[in-house]
Amino acid sequence: MKKYLEQKILEALTSLSYTDTIPTLERPKLEQHGDVTTNVAMVLARKAGKNPRAIAEEIVNALRFDPGTVTNVEIAGPGFINFRFSGLFFTRGIGDILKQSETFGRTAEGRKKKTQVEFVSANPTGPLSVGHGRQAAIGDTIATLLEWTGHEVTREYYYNNAGRQMRKLAESTYARYRQLFDPLAPFPEDGYQGEYIRVIAEELKRSQGDRLLSMPDEEALEVCKGASEAALFEAIRKVLARMNVRFDVFFNEDSLYTSGALDDVVSELRTKGLAYDKDGAVWFKATALGLEQDRVMIKSTGEPTYRLPDIAYHREKFRRGFELVVDVFGADHIATIPDVLAGIQALGYDKTRVKVVIHQFVTLLRDGQQVKMSKRQANFVTLEELIDEVGPDAVRFFFIMRSISSHLEFDLNLAKEQSEKNPMYYLQYAHARIASILRFAESEGVLTAQEQNRFATADVSLLKEESEVALAKLLMEFPDIVLSSCMSFEPHRLPGYLGDVATAFHKFYHDHRVVVPERDLSLARLALCRAAQIVLANGLKILGISAPERM
RNA sequence: GCGCCCGUAGCUCAACUGGAUAGAGCAUCAGACUUCGGAUCUGAGGGUUGGGGGUUCGACUCCCUCCGGGCGCACCA
């Protein structure tokens, strides 16, 4: 619809010799303003110094439409041009939806651009938090949206298995292990307190007996590190899989150490005069790139800070040929981003190809009360516990339904409630209801059981009722919604749209019987139902949520 | 103190990135199908978009300022 109009308006503009202005088309908020509206006349008025309504009139007179498409064009308000399409224009689209079926909504906009989405990337030092869960839902949905818009996507987890954190992890496990033999054995002051460390230690005792006690400390720590890392990695992978999130690549941080990538970055920055030594440390001269202060890359102890591997890792992303790099980070990482971007720019890469998506935090609400979460205390809620409590579908849906820049309040009671209050059930219910109607139509002999050619003889021009056309119109917008949710990196638009689809469907269903004595009309309405089901199913698929046939 | 995010109906949030009369859900109140799923639908009330200035044909959106909340501001990640 928009593409068609854009084309026609452009033709009109060139015929009037208004060049280099691309009309922006919008769906008006008010139904009475038509199906699509444009403000080109007002934009042109500013440039041309003419009355916007006069320009609008010129444009309208120059427009030529194919018969049976646009039924009304009018100039309104300060200079908007409003267009109304024929009902047939929308209902004809039902055929396309049925034909494209599970691919309806996909576009080729991305031109197979090689794209990486990095998300979660939590340290393997403990179980994932609910915050990581939000990031998993956001990252995976963005990745899927990018796939649907024709990008070639790699889902990647940057796995911080190097540095001090891992050392601390090994020490913690080792201490717990020793405590299994000697309850008085000391535990490091800043060690990881969590119960999961004890579990790993017990597992170690089962598989290794007391062997570690007789080893040199360093060797025992290596064993502990390996065992802890493997156990935590497995736990992380498993929880994410329960949320329907799977990664293509786990990029190991320690590979940057062994491959020499870190040294390369430092020496390259040195030759560019962007690194220097001070107080026994190696500094990144970020101020030379317009940032506020210089930062340490290598501590006086010889260990790199996180900043250096982050820069090296981003360079690897470019070296691996990614044309678009999407980083999904929590709000607590905001401060680190400018340094990394400055770093890769200094190394000669185009930082505008990195899109950083920052999401705000999550608070849990139970019985109207905020659940206080603290890692120290026992009331820390893990992602796994959240999934246990409300189920994976609700977890994903609730994490994605708010704009990512907003603080998210996760209402546990609502997420568990199986009623009309829960917006996720509203969608799933619409899908299941359609499935039920189709089953009914089969049992009545209106539809054949096999999907092929089911609607071959359906005559959608019979769909003339207001709620029929309204639903068809909304369904046709799905590809646009997928595209705009993707390009703006605002996945929350999708659940919002799907809610509108469900509402439009329920209204249609309420207004009209689907299976009626007239077989042709039944078939046309069933085609509309099926099209709505396809859009709901595809939308839920993108969100990683199940689309039940019954509930 | 500095940087980023947020502040919109009683509550949770939208508003297509500067467009027309700021919209949904929940909650409240009032209604609707004797056959396809009532986990549905229709309607009503509810607002100085945190306050104040500015930019322009036009501001929830951009700029300045103040207030309130969150997150950062390491030789932690």
Could you tell me the pLDDT band of residue A62, with boundaries at 50, 70 and 90?
A: confident
pLDDT tens for residues A275-316?
Answer: 999 999 999 999 998 888 899 999 999 999 999 999 999 999
Q: In terms of domains, do A133 and A32 share one?
A: no
* Domain shared by A152 and A287, yes or no: yes
| Å separating the CA of residue A315 from the C1' of nucleotide B22 | 45
A39-48, A459-468, A504-513: segment of lowest average pLDDT: A39-48
Nearest nucleotide relative to A510: CA against C1': B41
Q: Cβ-count burial of A19 within 10 angstroms (0-12 exposed, 13-18 middle, 19+ buried)?
A: exposed
What CATH number did the domain enclosing A18 receive? 3.30.1360.70
**Closest nucleotide to the alpha carbon of A515, via C1':** B36
In a domain, A550, yes or no: no
Angstrom distance (rounded) from CA A508 to CA A94: 15
Which of A61-70, A380-389, A446-455, A532-541 shows the highest mean pLDDT? A532-541
Residue pair A495/A401 in contact by the 8 Å Cβ criterion? yes
Q: Give, in Å, how far the C1' of B50 lies from the CA of A407.
A: 17
Measure, in angstroms, how far nucleotide B53 C1' is from residue A483 CA: 39
SS3 for A484-497 is HHHHCCCCCHHHHH
Co-location of A314 and A375 in the same domain? no
Specify the amino acid at residue A451.
Answer: E
**Nucleotide nearest the Cα atom of A310 (by C1'):** B77
With tokens 């190394």, the residue in question is: A347
In this complex, the residue with its CA at the shortest distance from the C1' of nucleotide B17 is: A488
Q: What are phi and psi of A334, to 5 degrees?
A: -50, -45
Distance in Å from B3's C1' to A335's CA comes to: 8
Q: Please check whether residues A537 and A434 belong to one and the same domain.
A: yes
Residue among A384, A329, A361, A337 nearest A139 (CA) = A329
Output the six-digit token pair for A178. 């020793």
Q: Is A549 a domain residue?
A: no
In this structure, what CATH number is given to the domain that contains residue A452? Answer: 1.10.730.10
Domain encompassing residue A12: 2-85
The pLDDT score that the predictor gives to residue A123 is: 87
A439-452 pLDDT tens trace: 999 998 888 877 76
One domain, residues A154 and A186: no
Give the rounded percent of residues in chain A with a pLDDT score beyond 90: 64
Q: Which of the residue ranges A28-32, A109-113, A395-399 would you say has the lowest mean pLDDT?
A: A28-32
Contact A284, A269 (CB under 8 A): yes
CA of A201 to C1' of B69 (A): 42
- Using the 3D structure, point to which of A416, A448, A481 is the last residue of a domain: A416
Nearest to A266 by CA among A279, A275, A254: A275
pLDDT at A170 over 80: yes
If one counts the domains in chain A, the total is 5
Q: How confident is the model at residue A380 (pLDDT cuts 50, 70, 90)?
A: low
Q: Which nucleotides of B are covered by protein (CB under 7 A)?
A: 3-7, 12-17, 19-27, 32-33, 35-42, 57, 69-77
pLDDT band with cut points at 50, 70 and 90 for residue A11? confident
CB count in 10 Å sphere of residue A160: 19
Instruction: Assess if residue A551 is contained within a domain.
Output: no
Average pLDDT over residues A86-111: 92
